[in-house]
A and B are shown apart, each in its own frame.
Chain A
Amino acid sequence: MNLLIKGGRVVDPAGGTDAVQDVWIADGRIHKVGRGLKAPAGAETVDATGKVVCPGFIDMHVHLREPGFEYKETIASGTRAAAAGGFTAVACMANTFPVNDNRAVTDYILARAKVEGVVRVYPIGAVTRNLEGTQLAELAELAEAGCVAFSDDGKCVMNAELYRRAMEYALPFGVPVISHAEDCDLGHGAMHEGFVSTELGLSGQPAAAEEVMVARDIILAELTGAHLHVAHISTAGSVRLVRDAKARGVRVTAEVTPHHLLLTDEVVRSYDSNCKMAPPLRGKRDVEACLEALVDGTIDCVATDHAPHALSEKEGEFAEAANGIVGLETAVPLLLDRLVRPGVLDLPTLVTRFSTGPARLLNLPGGSLAPGAAADITILDLERTWTVDPAAFRSRGRSTPFAGFTGTGAPWMTLVGGVTVAS
C-alpha cells in the first residue's frame, strides 16, 4: 500500500531537513523523502502544498484513565482526542484503578489499546505499589511488559530512601524515572501561593513545594546515575535547578505543559475550576522562565498532562474541585498560534519539543522521518483558524481554561503507520 504526501514543507530535525519535499510511504513505513518523487500507480496522494509535514508528535504525559475510571476517559476516547490533536503516540500514566503497578495491568492496557486505540499507546508503570510510596512495584516485570518509564505521577514519592532504591533498581532497564515533584506537606493549597492567593483568600502552595522535590530528585539522580525526568515543570526555581544540573552532567530531562507556558495565576481570580490543576498555574516570572527554558532546550519537551474529569468533579467550590484539565486537543494549536506565529519558537524547535525530544527521551521508535521509520506523521496547517469549543472535544473531559480562545495554526492530518487517524 503506497501513499505519497506531496509538496509539503518537511520539517525533520532528526534528519536535518526543513524544505519542501515529498514523502513516500510504503506498507506503513517511510520509503523515501525527496523532491519530485513518483509513486507507483495506484498510490494514494495527499496534496500537502502549504502544509508542514513532521514526524508524529508524541505526548509523553497523558492520563487515559482506563482501567477503572472509564467515566472520565477511555483508551478509545483518549486516543481519538490525541489523534485530533495531532499526536501519533501517547505515554499513559499509572494512576489507573487498579494502579498499573504489575504486568497484568500493563498487559490489559496494551491489549485494549490494540483493539480500541487509534494512536500508539506506551504505558508508564508505577514506581511504588498502589502509588502508596512505601514499597517498590515490580519494576522488572513492568519494563518487560512494555512500560517505557516509571512514575507515581499524581503523587510524589516522599520517602527519599525508597526513591533512591527505585532509581537504582530501574537502572538496568534503561528507562527514565518520572517525578511528580510536589512536597505533600508544603504542597497543600488550592492554587499558587502569591498575591492572587492572598487577595482571593485561597490556600496557596509556594513554588518551593515543587522546588524542594526537584532539588532532592536531582541529587538522588546524581547519586544513583539514573535518568530523572521532571514532569510538568512549572517554576523559575525548578528551571534553574534543572539547568544547573544539566551543566553538571546529571542525567536529567524535563517537560512543560502548554498551560504553564501561556497562563498565570491571574486567571484563577474567576474561581473557575477549569483553571485548577497540579502543579497550579504560577506567576509571571515562572511562565517567562519556562518559555525561556523551552526555547534554549533546558526543557526537553512539551507534554500536556491531559487529565480528564467528569463535569460534576470540576463544577462546584474551587477548593473542592478535582485537579486537572484536558490538553490533547488544544496543545498544538495553542503553541502554533501563541509561540510559533509571533516568532518566540521556531517550527523546527517546536517539532523537536513535540516529537524528536520525547522519542529520544523514552527511547521510542519515532521522532524521525528517516527511511525505514514507521510512518507516524503529523501534518500541520499553519493557516487554519480555530476556536476552542469544549463541547466538540473527542475527549470525555471538557475542562479547559482555554474555552473560547481563538487562533491560527492547527493539526491538519495525523497518520499512524501510514493510516490516517485524523484529518
Chain B
Amino acid sequence: MSWKRKDLLGMQDLDAAEIIGVLDTASSMKEIAAREIKKVPTLRGKTVVNLFYESSTRTRTSFEIAGKWLSADVINFSASGSSSDKGESLLDTARNIEAMSPDVVVVRHKAAGAPALLARHLRCGVVNAGDGAHEHPTQALLDLMTIREKKGHLEGLNVTIVGDITHSRVARSDIYGMRKMGITVTVAGPPTLIPAQCQELGVKVSHRLEEAIAHADVIMMLRLQHERMQGGFIPSLREYSRVWGLSLAKLEHCRPDVLIMHPGPVNRGVELAPEVADSPYSVILDQVANGVAVRMAVLYMLAGSKGA
C-alpha cells in the first residue's frame, strides 16, 4: 500500500495509485455494513475529532459512523462561523483541540484553504471534509467507488457534471479525481455558473444540457443554492429547473445504462425531478453507503500512517 500521507486535503494531491488504494480498501471494508455486529477493533483507542464549522448532518454522520465501526472514539465539535464572528480564531480552536491529543481531525469550513492551514499547524492527520468551493476529497472518492462498482472500470468513461460549478467543491474534487483515473469530464451549466478559464482544468464546457448528457455514462447533478438568485447568477429557480433540471423526458435521449448521481441533499424539482431521483438510473443511495466505506478506508490509512 503506497499511502504515506499525514493528511487528505484534496484530490489534486493524490496520484492514481493512491486513489486505487483507497477504493480497494473501501471495497474490502464495505461488508462490515452488512454484519450483525458492525464493529472491527482496528482503530481502537484512536480519537477522531469532527471539527465542523459548516453545519452538515450527512457528512458528519458518515464520518462518525465510519470512525465508530472501526472502534475509534469520535468527538463532534460544531463551531459556529469563522474567525470574524467574535469567537475563537480557527488556529486557536485547533491548537486547543490538539492539546487533547486527537489522532485525526476531520474539518469542514466555509473558507478555502482552512484545512491546509490546520494541517500545517497540527501534528495529527487532517481530513478535508469540504473547504469553501475548493475540495471535498472523500466525496470524489465515494463517487469514483460508486462508478467503478456499477461500471466495472473507470478509464474511458464519460462523466458530465451539471450545475453550479463555480461554487462547487464537489465539482472540483470530482474533476481532479476523475481525470487522474482516465475519465473524460464535461461540465455543463449557464455561463454565469462556470468559473473563469474552466476548460484549462482539462474538461469540456457546455452550455446546453441535452448536448452535454447525450453520450454520458454518468450524469452528476449538483445542488443549486437558492442564494444564486441574489448574486445575479440565475434569474429564477423556475427557469433554472426548466432548462437545467433533469427530467425523465430529457433522459430518454441518454444512454440506457446511464447512471444518475448527486452529492446530496437533492433539491427535488429543481435539479432533479422526483421521478428521476427515485428511478433505477439513480445510484444516489449507493453513494451514501459507499461514503461510509470510503471514510472508513481514509480513517484507517491516516490513523495508522506515521506520515511522510
Contact = CB atoms under 8 A, between A and B. Distances in A.
A–B contact, 8 Å CB criterion (strictly below):
yes
Interface of A: 193-195, 197-204, 206, 271, 312, 315-320
A206 B172 CA distance: 20
Interface stretch (B97-105, B106-114, B263-271): B106-114
Interface stretch (B15-23, B31-39, B131-139, B140-148): B131-139
B112 A319 contact: yes
A195 B200 contact: yes
B89 A198 contact: no
A201 B172 contact: yes
A96 B245 CA distance: 51
B199 to A, nearest CB: 10
Interface string B233-274: 000000000000000000000000000000000000000000
Closest 5 A-B residue pairs measured CB to CB? Answer: A271-B113, A317-B111, A201-B134, A201-B133, A198-B195
B117 A202 contact: no
Given A201-B133, A320-B111, A315 B196 contact: no
B196 A193 contact: yes
Nearest to A192: B196
B292 interface: no
A201 B200 contact: no
B200 A318 contact: no
A413 to B, nearest CB: 40
A10 B3 CA distance: 62
B6 interface: no
Contacts of A195: 196-197, 200
Contact of A200 (B84, B109, B113, B117): B113
Nearest to B113: A271
Given A271-B117, A312-B89, A316-B90, A200 B201 contact: no
B253 to A, nearest CB: 30
Interface in B164-201: 169, 172, 195-198, 200-201
B196 A317 contact: no
Q: How large is the interface on B (under 10, 10 to 19, 20 to 34, 35 or more residues)?
A: 20 to 34
A315 B95 CA distance: 14
Contacts of B116: 271
Nearest to B121: A315
Nearest to B53: A317
Contacts of B201: 198-199
Contact of B83 (A193, A202, A317): A317
A318 B111 contact: yes
25 contacts: A194-B197, A195-B196, A197-B195, A197-B196, A198-B197, A198-B201, A199-B201, A200-B113, A201-B131, A201-B132, A201-B133, A201-B169, A202-B112, A202-B133, A202-B134, A204-B196, A206-B196, A271-B116, A315-B91, A316-B91, A316-B117, A317-B83, A318-B111, A318-B112, A319-B132
A393 to B, nearest CB: 22
B282 interface: no
A328 to B, nearest CB: 27
A195 B195 CA distance: 8
B114 A200 contact: no
A318 B113 contact: yes
A202 B197 CA distance: 14
B82 interface: yes
Which of A200, A201, A271 has its CB near the most chain B CB atoms (within 10 A)? Answer: A201
Given A204-B196, A271-B117, A312-B89, 20 more contacts: A193-B196, A194-B197, A195-B196, A198-B195, A198-B197, A199-B12, A200-B113, A200-B134, A201-B169, A203-B133, A206-B196, A271-B112, A315-B89, A315-B91, A316-B91, A317-B82, A318-B111, A318-B113, A319-B111, A320-B82
B68 to A, nearest CB: 30
Given A315-B91, A316-B83, A317-B117, A200 B196 contact: no
Nearest to B198: A198
A266 to B, nearest CB: 13
A281 to B, nearest CB: 15
A17 B90 CA distance: 56
